[in-house]
Amino acid sequence: MEVFSNAPSAFPPRRPVIGGQEYCLRRADRDDIYQILLLEKEVYQGQLPWSQKIFAKELRRRDSLYLLLYFGSYLVGMVGCRFRFYQAHITYLAVVPQLQGRGLGTYLLTVILNEVKKQDLNKVTLEVRVENKKAQALYRHLGFRDNFIRRNYYTNVDRPDSDGLNMICDLRKKNYCQW
């Protein structure tokens, strides 16, 4: 039996400045699902790897934290994480394509890693497509290392199945409080 811990209960909205632009970061709730699905369609070229039902389930979980990053009224990024008894697992990271490479993904990951550290968890895992070298570079920059391959982890109706690279980060080895 896997034991879960609660995600942080309080996450007050923040107004970070990234690359000279002001954004709003806040916790996601079920009322945000429509906007989240629009973000996902934009990030995944019209596809919806996660359904409305999956997002609704994730946002109800007591062991999960999902954060939304807005530029004005436009949802530009999202990160999600599950908090387990011994470690955390990043379940979701997305930034709209036209704003990738501007530090938004780094910011979102840094915030979630700091939240993990606040819960006294030392290890964080995630999966990324083996062909997504850009995301892997971001994760390695933040201290993640390759762990193992999950064969046929990602399945799509429009293209062949893809392997997932499991990556792991030991938070005791790096300070993420740079934002």
Residue 168 tokens read as 């792991």
How many Å apart are CA 66 and CA 70, to the nearest integer? 13
Q: Any idea what DSSP says for residue 7?
A: P
What residues are paired with 90 via a beta bridge?
81, 126
Query: Of residues 40, 58, 115, 127, which has the active-site annotation?
Result: 127
How many Å apart are CA 142 and CA 177, to the nearest integer? 11
- CA nearest to 79, candidates 147, 159, 2, 139: 139
- CA nearest to 110, candidates 132, 139, 87: 139
Alpha carbon distances (Å) from 125 to 19, 86, 167: 27, 11, 6
Can you tell me whether residue 15 is helix, strand or coil?
A: coil
Query: Of residues 66, 107, 139, 154, which has the active-site annotation?
Result: 139
Residue 44 catalytic?
no
Residue 127 catalytic?
yes
Rg (CA), the chain: 16
Residues tagged active-site = 127, 139
